[in-house]
Amino acid sequence: MLSDWKQFQDEGSEVAKKYGKDGDKEKYYIKRSCYGQAQTDHSTELLSNYWDQCLLWSAKFNKPTKPSITEVYRWLMSRVSINGEAGTLFHNIGSLSALLICGDLIEAGTLPMPMAHEWGELIYSLKMGAHSGMERLSLIGK
C-alpha cells in the first residue's frame, strides 16, 4: 500500500539524510541516472502517480483472456491527453522499455509466449539494435 511506503519513508528520513549523497535524502532512494543520463526526473514525489497507475495494470491483466504482446506493447506506448497536453499513459516508458517489459511479462508467465513472427514485428518496429542484429543474422532483409 502507498501508505506503507510513506510510513517507511517517514521513519527512515534521518537515515536517508545520513546516507544520501550530500545529505539529500532523495538520493538515498533514487539513482536518477540508472537508465541513462536522460532519465533525470526520477523522484519519490512521483510515486503516488505511479501508484495510481498500478490500478491500470490490474484492470489490464486480471481478465480471463490474456492480452497479446502486441496489445500490451501498444498499451504501454499509448498517448493520452493530460490537462489538455498530449503525453504517454506511462511516464518514462519509451519504445525500448516497453518491449523489455513485454519480455519480462512473458518470462514471468503473465503473457503467453508470442509467435516468432509477432515478436519479430515488434523488434522490427523499434528499428534499434535488435533490428540491426536481425539484419546481420540474415533473419530479415534490409
Strand partners, 82: 85
Region 9-32: mean pLDDT is: 72
Residue 66: how many CB atoms within 10 A of its CB? 15
Amino acid residing at 15:
V
Answer yes or no: pTM beyond 0.85: no
Q: What is the largest CA-CA distance in the chain?
A: 58
d(CA 130, CA 142): 13
Residue 28: how many CB atoms within 10 A of its CB? 19
**How confident is the model at residue 113, as a pLDDT?**
92
Region 45-58: mean pLDDT is: 77
d(CA 99, CA 102): 5
Q: Which residues of 54-137 form beta strands (DSSP E)?
A: 79-82, 85-88
